[in-house]
Structure 1
Amino acid sequence: MPKGQSKVPEQLSACGLLGPYILLTHGNGTTPEQASLLTSSGAYIVSTPDTEIFMASGADPVAFRNDLPLICLGADCHSCGPVNMMHQMQMALASDRATQNTKAFSSGHYPRKPRASIQAAFNLATIKAARAINMDKEIGSIAVGKLANLIIFGASSPSLGCAAENDPLTAIVRQAGVREVETVIVGGKVRKRDGVL
């Protein structure tokens, strides 16, 4: 293994501890062999993009890797930046697109289509995060029988501009912050209304 390469997945597996009940954070530098081991065991990686970028975890965004299907987004620590999921989605998209664009440009090509989509980023922060903690039957998407955990964004915010009218999902993922959260409903109970807790 290269100097500094983590052997955590192999060590956990050797001790019989690697499975769907384990959440590993960051995952930068995960080798293809480790990705296969993690996937076959059912273990999730929780990517925290701002920490991975600002704390020198490496320029290897993992959130959108095709060989890591069991991944979601999370927030790590206040010392790195905002710990809200809108920020994490924005950082994940930006870091992945920057990395992919750099690879394309260095090979003499213009990037044609980003690997990371808006929908994929949203799913990493919602349904895939719920799956990671084995709560996707209760939360992570809107469906009959699930808990009513909802966030309502103020579409008239200057931060969202006309994006909210044309593509609300893109407005949330790419532009929204905590200031745009007008209403929060948890388990059917309103916890924040009109911007006030």
Structure 2
Amino acid sequence: MTRLLIKETQILTMNEQMDIFSGDVLIEDDRITQVGQELDKVEEAGTKVIHAKGKTLLPGFVQTHVHLCQSIFRGQADDMELMDWLQQKIWPLEASHDETSLYDSAMLGLGELIQGGTTTVVDMETVNHTDAAFEALAQSGMRALSGKVMMDVGNELPPALLEDTQTSIAESTRLLEKWHGYDGGRLQYAYAPRFVVSCTEELLTEVRDLAKYYDVYIHTHASENLGEIQIVEEERGMRNVEYLDHLGLAHEKLILAHCIWLSDREKQIIRDRKVKMSHCPGSNLKLASGVADVCGMSHQGTHISLGADGAPCNNALNMFQEMKLAALLPKPTHGPAAMPAEEVLKMATIEGARAIGMEEEIGSIEEGKKADLALLDLNKLHTSPRAGVDPISSIVYSATAQDVETTIINGEIIMENRELKTMNETEVLANADRSMKRLLSTMASMTY
């Protein structure tokens, strides 16, 4: 048994009572076994002790929509709207990926996420080479729900991304059977049809049936852009969420990214079917897609969590940025009390856990739960003074990713004192740059 004791830290439990107190946390193997004060009696030979007086401990962040395959595309597709961004930049770049570049992209994104205190991601990969991304996830120590993107229709798709329907389904299921449940369930699989525009009805209905058979999640985009909705209405005869519900895909194991342009009927479907919505405010702003009605929807009972989306439509996989934007965006419309810091921090932790059905395992600091934690140093100029200030307010409105000192996933220290333990940061940076140069050369020679 491995034992880790975190001493004398400010603990933001994120439990039902939202308890905050100074104390200790004992971790044995992958679980939190004691949360309390003065746990000195458990300090014994073989116990690693982190003396964290003056620091702040909170559950690791759960990001419910990212694209690790796009991490090395950061800065390659700025100042564009969604469909142009996809067709002119992102799809050609994804089509140029090889196994090495995809692995390097995933490692770059994972390093950034870990350094920012994220301990779980819901990840959507590209069409090809998804084993390489899972290899990176396995090595990094990240907890993840991930899947190969599925695309079997589209006039503007590069040939390398346009799949045969049955080939797409077969490869997705092969990956599921290989990776789902890896490392005691640290890695899980989700079917990931990209969005209705790029998926035939045959593919979507088979995904529906297979996800039910294997009892896994479905992760897709919906209603991100008005142009996207127009295409779906013209081709399928109804709006995005209505169409997904018509096919029987709208249920509690469906995670929908964005959900900006929804009709009242679609909002009702999401609420009534217990569909999980991933809010990506940074991406939505940068692509000029719009502002999702998270304030109104959350008050009506919709389940909402947070994600950064991909690096080329956000430029940072930073939960602190997403929390601050999520808190600020509703205020001009709904008033200064809209979307308070506490509600936003819940979206980033326990509600993210609930989105993937793991609220009994992660998302709060409680005895018996998995040890997925982030230790912050808030003794900085930009987070001071601390006297009389709610630490939740400091985290949502003032803190940055650079304030994360230590990240623990599944009881393992993945980063300590800003040093990554499961990857060499210098090598990750060099490999990412090398792969991106190769992809740009490859893409320049491609014709469509």
**SS of 2:244 mapped into structure 1:** helix
Cα distance, 1:5 vs structure 2: 7.9
Q: Write the mapping of 1:10-159 to structure 2, written as runs, cut at 5 A.
A: 10-58=242-290, 60-65=291-296, 66-67=299-300, 69-79=302-312, 80-100=314-334, 111=335, 113-159=336-382
Q: Which residue of 2 aligns with 1:161?
A: 384
Q: What CA distance in whole angstroms lies between the structure 1 residues aligned with 2:364 and 2:388?
A: 22
Higher relative contact order (CA 8 A, sep 6+): 2
Q: What CA distance in whole angstroms lies between the structure 2 residues aligned with 1:182 and 1:165?
A: 23
User: What count of residue pairs does the alignment treat as equivalent?
Assistant: 183
Q: Assess if the C-alpha contact under 8 Å between 2:270 and 2:302 holds in 1.
A: no
% identical aligned pairs: 27
Q: Which residue of 2 aligns with 1:174?
A: 397
**SS of 2:351 mapped into structure 1:** helix
Q: Scaled by the length of structure 1, what TM-score is found?
A: 0.85
In structure 2, do the counterparts of structure 1 residues 134 and 155 end up closer, same or farther at CA, with 3 Å as the change threshold? same
- 4+ runs of 1 displaced by more than 4 Å? none
In structure 2, do the counterparts of structure 1 residues 70 and 81 end up closer, same or farther at CA, with 3 Å as the change threshold? same
Q: What CA distance in whole angstroms lies between the structure 2 residues aligned with 1:164 and 1:173?
A: 17
Q: What CA distance in whole angstroms lies between the structure 2 residues aligned with 1:49 and 1:140?
A: 21
Cα distance, 1:98 vs structure 2: 3.0
Rg comparison, structure with higher value: 2
Q: Assess if the C-alpha contact under 8 Å between 1:63 and 1:73 holds in 2.
A: no
* Structure 2 stretches lacking a partner, 5+ long: 1-225, 230-238, 421-448
Cα distance, 1:63 vs structure 2: 2.8
Q: Assess if the C-alpha contact under 8 Å between 1:23 and 1:132 holds in 2.
A: yes
**SS of 1:82 mapped into structure 2:** coil
Q: Assess if the C-alpha contact under 8 Å between 2:274 and 2:302 holds in 1.
A: no
RMSD: 1.8
* Structure 1 stretches lacking a partner, 5+ long: 101-110
1:130-173 Cα offsets, whole Å, 9 max, x none, are 11111111111111111011111112122212147622111111
Q: Scaled by the length of structure 2, what TM-score is found?
A: 0.39
In structure 2, do the counterparts of structure 1 residues 91 and 181 end up closer, same or farther at CA, with 3 Å as the change threshold? same
Q: Which residue of 2 aligns with 1:108?
A: none
1:57-83 Cα offsets, whole Å, 9 max, x none, are 11x333322235211111101122321
Q: Which residue of 1 aligns with 2:407?
A: 184
Q: What CA distance in whole angstroms lies between the structure 2 residues aligned with 1:90 and 1:117?
A: 10
Query: Which structure has greater strand proportion?
Result: 2
1:88-128 Cα offsets, whole Å, 9 max, x none, are 1011112111333xxxxxxxxxx4x4211100000111111
Q: What CA distance in whole angstroms lies between the structure 2 residues aligned with 1:41 and 1:68?
A: 11
Q: What CA distance in whole angstroms lies between the structure 1 residues aligned with 2:375 and 2:283?
A: 27
In structure 2, do the counterparts of structure 1 residues 186 and 160 end up closer, same or farther at CA, with 3 Å as the change threshold? same
Query: Which structure has greater helix proportion?
Result: 2
